[in-house]
Structure 1
Amino acid sequence: MRKKDLKHPGTERRDFLKASALLAGGALLSGMPFAGVYAGASDVIKVALIGCGDRGTGAAFQALTAKANVRLVAMADAFQDRLDKSYLALSTKFGKDKVNVPEGQRYVGFDAFRKAIAKADVVILATPPGFRPMQFEEAVNQGKHVFMEKPVATDAPGVRRVLAAAEEAKRKKLNVVVGLQRRYQNNYRETIRRIQDGAIGDIVGGQVYWNSGGVWVRPREAGQTEMEYQMRNWYYFNWLCGDHIVEQHIHNIDVANWIKGSYPVSAYGAGGRFLRTGKDYGEIYDSHSVQFTYADGCSVMSQCRHYEGCANRVDESFQGTKGSVYLSANNTGTLRDGKGNVIFDHNGKMDPNPYQTEHDELFDAISHREYKFEDADRAARSTMTAILGRLASYSGAVVKWDEALNSQVSLFPDQLAWDAVPKVVPDASGNYPVAIPGQTKVV
């Protein structure tokens, strides 16, 4: 998208859909010279893993499983124990031919990522999302292709930083794939292609959900500094996670933007902490309900919650002028006409794993020296959409896209060190401040 679209999320739908169809399908961006990344005459693609937790280790596994000649050569993490665990798992599974990471190329610390990036052709970014903007920027500055997990930021300054780096990545012809894996899942690709071809007319409404029992909690341990505790329990602090509407529900929100062919102009919502209220849950809400309004007046209702013992739901539904669609990650994609008759039903029980497909397609493009993927821009805008929802839920106000994107509120600490103090700290009782609708200022 052009830079002017920062202030105009309701971009011409036809242009958006055309670009989305090309990129989501991995179409070659023809006429663009490929950014060379190989050292010497070898066809080995050297990979650095930044962030060695479960998701990072899983992403490295998928990269090493791709058909291309991929080798892990560097690793970085803030914590030695996470790096060691990841290295042991990967080296045991793949052996030294695929995992060739000498001790001198296993880097630990806040600045370790810069050293690891320098050793590789392709970088996997899988740290907590708050670190993504500076790490993506560094990878692009060093001229590396990138796979990065979602979301790509946790606040508006971070989104703007990613958008700027995305433009530089395009200029350098660097492939960038983002882990919004529904974009690489056949039932979504096939069903949404038919929607873009007009199968159910213009989209006039929608509902997206990520309702589940919640995720892990890591209790405070004796001797931890506040910085270490927050980084170990990162899901519950907004500078690291963004709240679960950003870290998790972004998948469904991104589908809404994909189907609408644009981004919301405003959001209005509610939320709070009703069940997950203890000290271990940091500052985030356990539920959000947000109405996103697009430039054409269409409203998409968004709901996410972390409630144990309740009905779970993770899917997307949309209504058009000529019919409706239902989608879910379990390979469902069903289109109905205005009378409820099924006009398309994706039957993909044996579909490829989209987590693997992301890496297969990325490394295939790199191995063939093709420039195909520029996911960062749209992923940044979907991240901003989720942040917009959080701001609306926290404040209780109608929050507009422009004011949210241009916000100068930065959640990131002023200093990164184990003895540095994050911007949000507990009170004398160990409780963290929580947003109060009607009182909390968010932009």
Structure 2
Amino acid sequence: MNQHAPQTATTSRRQFLKTTAALTAAAASPLAIARAAQPGGSDILRVGLIGCGGRGSGAAVNAMNADPNARLVAMADVFEWRMAESLARIEEVKPDQVSVDRDHQFGGLDGHRHLLESGVDVVLITVPSHFTPIYLKAAVEAGKHVFCEKTHAVDAPGVRSVIEAGETARQKGLSVVSGLAWRYDTGVLETMKRVHDGAIGEIHTIEEICNTGSLRSLARRPEMTEMEYQIYNWYDFNWLSADLPGLNLVHNVDKGAWALHDRPPLVAWGMGGREVRKGPTFGDVYDHHATVFDYGGGVRMYAYCRQINGVVTEISDRFVGTKGHCDLLRYTIEGETNWRYEGPPSNRFDLEHVALFSGIRSGQPVNNSTYMARSSLLALMATWCSHTGEEITWERAMNSNKQVNPERYALDATPPTVPDADGNYPIAVPGLTRFE
């Protein structure tokens, strides 16, 4: 079997249930969840899900794991068939917390607008990253609390929009919780606390690695327009995903930024390419990237990501300081201080929703908008440095006005990139592609 063969769209129900059961079993203790749910009383919180793929279905279950009085009451997705599949899966896992009638299932590119008008209290945004700033802004303007999956933007105007939406949320007393879930992992939190307390001294080097096998690429359905196909197979299109750094490395650079108290780098440069995942099936994205973020004073973060089958894989975060080093995902510190987290496991995907619902019920909103915007920009810088071969400063990246938008938001519209006669899409070429 070809290891790079495209997969079908239908997610195995058996796999979904198996994965969900495993995550639920590893969740935070019932006591922690109960404490999160109780402060504001036992009123039902009505949840709307925008984006009904695998991550959206999982996020809905996580939300209901986190708060027994959360109810999924509305759903929106570009594809109505995917929404129906998602609803069936979620109902199988959480039958007592789902009540989505036909009048509260909204299809098409404007489905999110109808969902926001349907009486929901909380919105889960799990869509291709291009749409995230648009939907986040609309949700906050509509007065909704929001869980927002990464990556939170694909261009600098989108990053700035996320920052603005976050400020609006603060003014309105709304929660905005990011899907950068490692910030809610108990072992990571305990380890990072010690890093910040000086256990490894002053950090001078960070190594961030996210090298995995090839992610899925979905086969084109004959009836689809070009816009429908690209949204359906969005991992493989830069304007929708921001390439591999937007899809996965964002988690790593977020942890690196967190270790440095979320201060931005001065400049970044890097390289990348497309060696194995080639051809029309894989759109216009690269399959490997390497980026150096320079913070000045000898402090650097080195970030790598790759998605190729048959090669060594690793996901890790390592910090080196003047007094020792930290292996974050192993929850260990070695050097002048030797320490290892020995506490119980936690489910970060549930815990981010525990934070969301706890903030709502306690009247103490949680707002992650600043770091979720900054970490998204770090991921974008990694992509831009690879695509252009340029050295890009933080200031230049943040102030860019470059946007890659379709001519209009409609399923029969022309997307920002289109294939040639052989079905191949234009690919960024370092030295020729320029950062704007």
Q: Separation in 2 of the partners of 1:225 and 1:131?
A: 19
Match of 1:344 among 322, 335, 339: 339
State the match for 2:199 in structure 1.
199
Match of 1:381 among 362, 365, 374: 374
The alignment-based identity, stated in percent, is 39
State the match for 1:368 in structure 2.
362
Q: Separation in 2 of the partners of 1:438 and 1:154?
A: 21
Counterpart AA for 2:373:
A
Contact preservation (8 Å) 1:271, 1:394: yes
Q: Separation in 2 of the partners of 1:264 and 1:412?
A: 28
Kindly report which structure 2 residues correspond to 1:105-116, keeping only aligned pairs within 5 A, or say none: 105-116=104-115
Whether 2:93 is the aligned partner of 1:100: answer no
Q: CA deviation at 1:142?
A: 0.8
Match of 2:353 among 359, 378, 396: 359
Whether 2:314 is the aligned partner of 1:316: answer no
Q: Separation in 1 of the partners of 2:298 and 2:111?
A: 46
Q: CA deviation at 1:221?
A: 2.1
> After the TM superposition, which segments of 4 or more aligned residues of structure 1 sit over 2 Å from their partners?
91-95, 367-371
Contact preservation (8 Å) 2:42, 2:69: no
Q: CA deviation at 1:91?
A: 2.2
Kindly report which structure 2 residues correspond to 1:20-419, keeping only aligned pairs within 5 A, or say none: 43-95=43-95, 97-118=96-117, 119-261=119-261, 262-328=263-329, 332-337=330-335, 343-348=338-343, 350-371=344-365, 373-419=366-412
* TM-score of the two chains, using structure 2 as the length reference: 0.88
Contact preservation (8 Å) 1:68, 1:363: no
Q: CA deviation at 1:361?
A: 2.3
| Secondary structure of residue in 2 paired with 1:219 | coil
Q: Separation in 2 of the partners of 1:84 and 1:263?
A: 42
Q: Separation in 1 of the partners of 2:271 and 2:170?
A: 37
Counterpart AA for 2:258:
W
| Secondary structure of residue in 2 paired with 1:271 | strand
Q: Separation in 1 of the partners of 2:120 and 2:297?
A: 45
* TM-score of the two chains, using structure 1 as the length reference: 0.87
Counterpart AA for 2:310:
G
Q: Separation in 2 of the partners of 1:66 and 1:440?
A: 45
Q: Deviations for 1:357-389, whole angstroms, at most 9, x for unmatched residues? A: 111222122223332x11112101100011011
Q: CA deviation at 1:100?
A: 1.2
| Secondary structure of residue in 1 paired with 2:240 | coil
Q: Separation in 1 of the partners of 2:67 and 2:402?
A: 43
Q: Separation in 1 of the partners of 2:270 and 2:216?
A: 26
Contact preservation (8 Å) 2:250, 2:376: yes
Counterpart AA for 1:123:
V
| Secondary structure of residue in 1 paired with 2:414 | coil
Q: Deviations for 1:209-245, whole angstroms, at most 9, x for unmatched residues? A: 0001121111122132110110111001111111011
Q: CA deviation at 1:272?
A: 0.3
Q: Separation in 1 of the partners of 2:125 and 2:402?
A: 24
| Secondary structure of residue in 1 paired with 2:415 | coil
Distance 1:363 1:68, change over 3 A: farther
Contact preservation (8 Å) 1:238, 1:411: no
Q: Separation in 1 of the partners of 2:178 and 2:407?
A: 27
Greater per-residue helix proportion: 2
Q: Separation in 1 of the partners of 2:182 and 2:297?
A: 25
Q: Separation in 2 of the partners of 1:354 and 1:130?
A: 24
Q: CA deviation at 1:42?
A: 7.6
Q: Separation in 1 of the partners of 2:296 and 2:152?
A: 24
Q: Separation in 1 of the partners of 2:287 and 2:93?
A: 37
Q: Separation in 2 of the partners of 1:92 and 1:325?
A: 41
State the match for 1:28 in structure 2.
none
| Secondary structure of residue in 2 paired with 1:240 | helix
State the match for 1:4 in structure 2.
none
Q: Separation in 2 of the partners of 1:212 and 1:182?
A: 18
Kindly report which structure 2 residues correspond to 1:428-439, keeping only aligned pairs within 5 A, or say none: 428-439=421-432
Q: CA deviation at 1:68?
A: 4.1
Contact preservation (8 Å) 1:326, 1:335: yes
Give the CA RMSD over aligned residues: 1.5
Q: CA deviation at 1:197?
A: 0.8
